Structure 1
Amino acid sequence: MVEQSAFVLHSRPYRDNQLLVDLLTEQDGKVSALVYVGQSKRSIKKGLLQPFLPLKVSLKNLSALKKISQIESSAKSLVLQQDHLYSAFYINELLIKLLTDGINCQVLFNHYGETLVKLAQKQAIAPVLRQFELALLDELGLSFDFSPVFEQEAIAFSYIPEQGFVAIYQYHQSFNSPQANYFDKQHLQQIAEQISTNELQGNDAVERTFKRLMRHVIAQLLGNKPLNSRKLFLSSR
């Protein structure tokens, strides 16, 4: 058993006063682990097993699942409110659904902690989320090749998994649909420059295109299954 830093992504009742907890850990990546919390509503462990609280945990291997043998907080819980809180739930849901269990992803773990701090500081949400989404795609072995956007004389591009950006040469009415898989050439060029300089904040139109692009790519990875965390944003409007 090795003590390591961790965050709770999600927890749910299991059986016999146990919880099944999804963790993002510094050394083991995403793991599911059991923990006995007892019957008391004031259980110390229950109080610790909350999202956005930096933890130190020790995990013990069982047959199919791990078990949390020791747990303690390593810092104060990060205070998140309204859309910044919903954004944190959003990145938790992405990690749960897209990461493979048991694979070390220390760079992404560090980025996750930094993202929570930025959200707690109430920094602008869009660039913070775009930075995290790019870090997650990088962990999954995906990256954007923007070279066609600069090399081809097209008015727009669609993005197709396994192919990348595909040139569109004629205007179509569906360009104006928020769900359309068409992206303005100049916007994509600006997004490429933002990524290369790590300055992910531009004008509103470019920001909206960047958001649509990331949503399209992530939807493909999720098999177009809806994200529950997005409902939180809608309910707050």
Structure 2
Amino acid sequence: MMATDSRVTLQPAYLIHQRPYRETSALLEVFTPEHGKIGLVARGIKGARGRWRGLLQPFRPLLLSWRGRGGLATLTDAEPSGLALGLSGEQILNGFYLNELLQRLLHRDDPHLELFGAYDHALRRLAALPPAPGAAAEKQQQLRLFEVRLLEAIGYGIILDREAGTGAPISAERLYSYRMDGGPVSWQPEQAGIRVHGRTLQALQQGTLDDEQSRHEARNLLRAMLQGQLGDRPLHSRELVRQVNRVVQLAETGG
């Protein structure tokens, strides 16, 4: 937890959300390894002569300093920690999806060293993808693996290596029903849960979603797991991706 009236100097960070505050300032949500998600007031950043103008942007590695008390501190310094990650096109939307997950699911002031590393890795892999259809599989893999790490970080890790109840090792060839309140059990048509093959669970554990079936099943499973934590309020970034995809499909079909 951030101490009362604390001062933090040059902490690695990413900006995950920003909104206007008064005439010249902004309220920031930033993600850091040692302090997790924190809220900052950035004073006097608007206008042509605003401090840190152009620096406080999503997907740019930063070094931030702040001081404050309670749940909202004051930004005192900001420096770049490398070049901005060159996300473009659809990958920008995917980056905003990751940011929205962090904003919605993380509590403030909880350290997340491993999750910060997973987030940084996912952004860099997304930024490196070529703007081609062949990159879709790698994109899906990076999103799914980050979702797994996020669920682990907030205390809802997915059981990937054994059956619930029996503890039997997951078999690649078997079909399972993944129950949100317990984990994977042998598939029975009358059972509630998400239908998933053992090879998909093993692929998630190994970090290699190499085939379309595994990617599809992993997406369904993780979406259900995340929905249980997000509640009924939809993700804005997910809806934006749907709208963009519809526009692209219409353009491709001449509609």
- The answer as to 2:202 corresponding to 1:182 is no
1:212 counterpart residue number: 220
- The answer as to 2:159 corresponding to 1:145 is yes
Please report how far the alpha carbon of residue 64 of structure 1 lies from its aligned counterpart in structure 2 after TM superposition: 4.1
Q: How far apart are the structure 1 equivalents of 2:53 and 2:225?
A: 36
SS at match of 2:16: strand
Matched to 2:106, the amino acid is: L
1:176 counterpart residue number: none
- The answer as to 2:23 corresponding to 1:3 is no
Q: 1:159 aligns with which of 164, 176, 179?
A: 179
Q: How far apart are the structure 2 equivalents of 1:101 and 1:114?
A: 22
1:91 counterpart residue number: 98
CA contact (8 A) 2:45 2:51 kept: no
SS at match of 1:47: coil
Q: How far apart are the structure 1 equivalents of 2:183 and 2:156?
A: 10
SS at match of 1:221: helix
TM-score normalized by the length of structure 1: 0.86
- Distance 1:63-1:170 versus aligned 2 partners, 3 A rule: closer
Q: How far apart are the structure 2 equivalents of 1:94 and 1:208?
A: 20
- Distance 1:24-1:133 versus aligned 2 partners, 3 A rule: same
SS at match of 2:57: coil
2:145 counterpart residue number: 131
- The answer as to 2:188 corresponding to 1:169 is yes
- Distance 1:42-1:125 versus aligned 2 partners, 3 A rule: farther
- Distance 1:116-1:39 versus aligned 2 partners, 3 A rule: closer
Please report the RMSD computed on the Cα atoms of aligned residues, expressed in angstroms: 2.3
TM-score normalized by the length of structure 2: 0.80
1:191 counterpart residue number: 200
Matched to 1:233, the amino acid is: V
Q: 1:31 aligns with which of 25, 29, 38?
A: 38
Q: 2:53 aligns with which of 46, 53, 59?
A: 46
1:177 counterpart residue number: none
Please report how far the alpha carbon of residue 70 of structure 1 lies from its aligned counterpart in structure 2 after TM superposition: 0.6
2:28 counterpart residue number: 21
CA contact (8 A) 2:35 2:109 kept: yes
Q: How far apart are the structure 1 equivalents of 2:45 and 2:212?
A: 50
Please report how far the alpha carbon of residue 107 of structure 1 lies from its aligned counterpart in structure 2 after TM superposition: 1.2
CA contact (8 A) 1:37 1:45 kept: no
Q: How far apart are the structure 1 equivalents of 2:210 and 2:46?
A: 51
Matched to 1:67, the amino acid is: T
Task: Point out where structure 2 has 5 or more consecutive residues left out of the alignment.
Answer: 1-6, 130-134, 165-169, 246-255
What do residues 65-94 of structure 1 show as CA deviations (whole Å, max 9, x unaligned)? 111001111211111112211111001000
Please report how far the alpha carbon of residue 159 of structure 1 lies from its aligned counterpart in structure 2 after TM superposition: 2.2
What do residues 158-188 of structure 1 show as CA deviations (whole Å, max 9, x unaligned)? 4223x2235542279xxxxxxx95314xx2x
Task: Point out where structure 1 has 5 or more consecutive residues left out of the alignment.
Answer: 173-179
Please report how far the alpha carbon of residue 53 of structure 1 lies from its aligned counterpart in structure 2 after TM superposition: 0.8
Q: How far apart are the structure 2 equivalents of 1:64 and 1:136?
A: 22
- Distance 1:39-1:98 versus aligned 2 partners, 3 A rule: closer
- Distance 1:57-1:210 versus aligned 2 partners, 3 A rule: same
- Distance 1:202-1:64 versus aligned 2 partners, 3 A rule: closer
Please report how far the alpha carbon of residue 14 of structure 1 lies from its aligned counterpart in structure 2 after TM superposition: 1.3
Q: How far apart are the structure 2 equivalents of 1:108 and 1:158?
A: 24
Percent identical: 27
**Residues paired across the two proteins, number:** 224
What do residues 114-154 of structure 1 show as CA deviations (whole Å, max 9, x unaligned)? 11110100162111011111111111122222422848xx8
Matches within 5 A, 1:54-73: 54-73=61-80
Q: How far apart are the structure 2 equivalents of 1:58 and 1:129?
A: 30
